[in-house]
Structures are given as structure tokens and as C-alpha cells.
Amino acid sequence: MTIRWKYLIILIVLLPLLGLGFAWSGLMGVRASTGHWAATDWFLHWVMKNSVRTAALSVDVPSLDDPALVPAAAGHFESGCAICHGSPAQGRSDAVLAMLPPPPDLKEKVPSWSDAQLFEIVKHGVRFTGMPAWPTQMRDDEVWAMVAFLRKLPQMDANAYFQASGLHGIGHAGEVSPLPITCESCHADKKLNNGSIIPRLAGQSEAYLLNSLKAYAAKQRPSGIMEVAVGTLPEEGLPELAKYYAGQKLPLRPAQPSVDPTLVAKGQELAEKGRPADKVPACLSCHEKPGGNPAYPRISGQNTAYIARQLHLFQTGVRGGSQFNHLMTEAAKNLKEEDITALATFFAGRESVGP
């Protein structure tokens, strides 16, 4: 028995060494051209499915019915995902199909995953496949927007995809312009309405816009969507972009849907007077104040949904940016949900003023 135990111990020691020796020899193939053994391919996919299924058990799924979730995610999909997965506008290239494993056609694969499982995959990526994690782990709201878009993807034709993503420059012959996705793909005023979570840029100050662009580029203002978008731009071009949008005239706003006047009045009171008992300052003591700091954004005329979302991000400490973001984090932390709704409603219906 003693001899057998000795042999077992020797075997336990030698096996890892033999494995390392085999790996060191270079005889272990890593050529993507030869593919995986069927058993290896099955095992890797089996492990991945089990891992995603287990991780998704702890994910709480929000409502994904809001159509405003789709446009920003669609634009990001075109710029960051379609190159590998293809889209209703263009298929996958031969180079992509030669990857190991090849990125799947999501129109076929999405229906096989639950919302929680899609969230897990989009947020954290998948090892050994080239599927990256979401650019920032702090913006679950963006990840859920992508899940909402993916749910729509299997039913989308090219025209619906163009409308959602803002893609342009593709002709009938499949010709693509150098910049098929631009800022206007998402931020064009004609694409925005009061329920949009994408902001209007026209009329903001050059200082505020430039600070925002630099914050995204430096990953100081978390947004997987905007980090990728700004990451494609040269740093020296950011001031020119800020100047362009600062010089755009605010378009005439369409009539807002009827709102509760009591809600508007409550928002106006908070905006003008604040609530000192809860250390909630008056918004207009800083924003849109004549002669005020141009680095503070103009809120009036923004979309209700966008304002509410930004206040929630400040409230949870997620919204970063310039050297002034701590002021808003402090100002928003004692806001109640009904305060946020009231403020968003009031400012969305207010004409933009200020420097």
C-alpha cells in the first residue's frame, strides 16, 4: 500500500510537469484554421451556457417595453457590434467568419437566451470568444437598453435598422460612406421626442460640451456608448465638435403632451426655491443664470426622460464628468422620486434661456 501511494504522488507531480513540457514544446496546435475538436467545441459552449444561466439567476429584469431604449443601443450596435455579428444592413465578412469561434448571427441566437442571460453576456462578455465586456461596468441602464434592442433585432429589416441606428451612407449597391454613423445618427433633433433618453446638444455652451467630450474620452463620465463614440475621434477635433453644436440654434419645440399643472408647479418651486429643509438647492441658482458659469448645462427644453435619467445617475453617484459633478451629486441625493418627475416635467416644458 505504501508503494502504491508513492506512485500516486509521483504521478500527481509528474502530470502537470508533463503538461507544461508539452505546451513548451510547441507541439500543441493553436491554429484557428484547423478549428476545435467536436468534443472541445461542445465542452466550451456547454461551460459557457451553464455559466451564463447560473449568473443570470441573480439578475432582476426591468421593463424593456420603452421604445426610447432602442435608438442609442442601435447606434452603439452599429459602431461596436455589427462589425463582428453583422446587422440587417450588412452581413458578416469572410474574415469574421474565419474567427474561432465565429461570432454568431444574433438574429438566430437572441431568441434562445432570456433577458437576464442577455444582460449577463452583454455586460460581462465571454472569455475565449473575443466577446468584450461592456466598456463600463457602471451603466446597467445602457446594458438594458442593448438588451431591449437585441429583443427587436430578429424582426428588424434593413429599413427598420436604418431608422433605429441612424445609419446612413449605404446605397443600393452596398456602398458605405467613411462615416456611416455620426453624432447626428443619435442626436439629430428630428429623432428626439420628450421620451428620448438621448440629449439635445444644440444650444449648450461650448465649455459644457467640451468638458463632457473630454470626460467621456478620459472615462471620467461613465458611458459605454459615448466612450466608444468619442474614442473614434481625434482629441484635437473635440473643441471643433463642441463649437459646432454650441453654435446650433435651438429648434422650435413641438407642443408638449398635456401634463399635470400641479406637477409642473411643484417642479417650478423646486427649480426656483429648492427645499432647504432637505438641503435641496434651487436648480436655477446655478443653471441658466444670467452671467453664470458656462460649464453648467442648460436643462430647459431637454427631454423629460433624459432629465430624469441624469438625476437618477447623479443620485446613485454614477454620473461623473467635470470638476463640478460633485455639486450635482450632493444636490440630487435627497431628491424623492416625485421630485425628479416634477423637475423633469417642468424643465422639459420650459423655454431654454441663459448665456
Residue keyed to cell 474620452: 217
Whole-angstrom distance, CA of residue 48 vs CA of residue 109: 14
Domain extent, residue 275, equals: 261-348
Cβ atoms 301, 349 nearer than 8 A: no
Whole-angstrom distance, CA of residue 100 vs CA of residue 130: 9
Whole-angstrom distance, CA of residue 198 vs CA of residue 252: 18
Query: Is 5 inside a domain boundary?
Result: no
Query: Is 1 inside a domain boundary?
Result: no
Whole-angstrom distance, CA of residue 70 vs CA of residue 144: 10
Query: Is 330 inside a domain boundary?
Result: yes
Whole-angstrom distance, CA of residue 180 vs CA of residue 194: 26
| 104 and 150 belong to one structural domain | yes
Please give the distance of CA 203 from its chain centroid, rounded to a whole number: 24
pLDDT mean values, one per 10 residues, the chain (355 residues):
76 90 89 90 95 97 96 93 92 92 94 98 95 96 98 94 82 52 90 93 94 95 95 92 91 70 95 95 94 93 95 93 88 96 94 55
| 235 and 295 belong to one structural domain | no
| 71 and 97 belong to one structural domain | yes
| 222 and 302 belong to one structural domain | no
Whole-angstrom distance, CA of residue 80 vs CA of residue 93: 15
Tell me what pLDDT residue 169 has. 59
Residue 48: what are its φ and ψ, rounded to 5°?
A: -60, -45
Whole-angstrom distance, CA of residue 190 vs CA of residue 163: 11
pTM to 2 decimal places: 0.90
Query: Is 36 inside a domain boundary?
Result: no
Query: Is 155 inside a domain boundary?
Result: yes
DSSP state letters, 60-118? PP-----TTHHHHHHHHIIIIIHHHH--SSS---HHHHTSSSPPP-HHHHGGGS-HHHH
At 176, list the grid cell. Answer: 458605405
At 121, list the grid cell. Answer: 453576456
Cβ atoms 160, 146 nearer than 8 A: no
Query: Is 33 inside a domain boundary?
Result: no
| 64 and 139 belong to one structural domain | yes
Tell me what pLDDT residue 65 has. 95
Output the domain CATH number for residue 223: 1.10.760.10
At 283, list the grid cell. Answer: 436648480
Number of neighbours of residue 50 by Cβ within 10 angstroms? 10
Number of domains in the chain: 3
| 216 and 310 belong to one structural domain | no
Query: Is 254 inside a domain boundary?
Result: no
| 104 and 159 belong to one structural domain | yes
Tell me what pLDDT residue 63 has. 96
| 274 and 238 belong to one structural domain | no
| 75 and 167 belong to one structural domain | yes
Query: Is 20 inside a domain boundary?
Result: no
Return the amino acid letter for 234. Answer: P
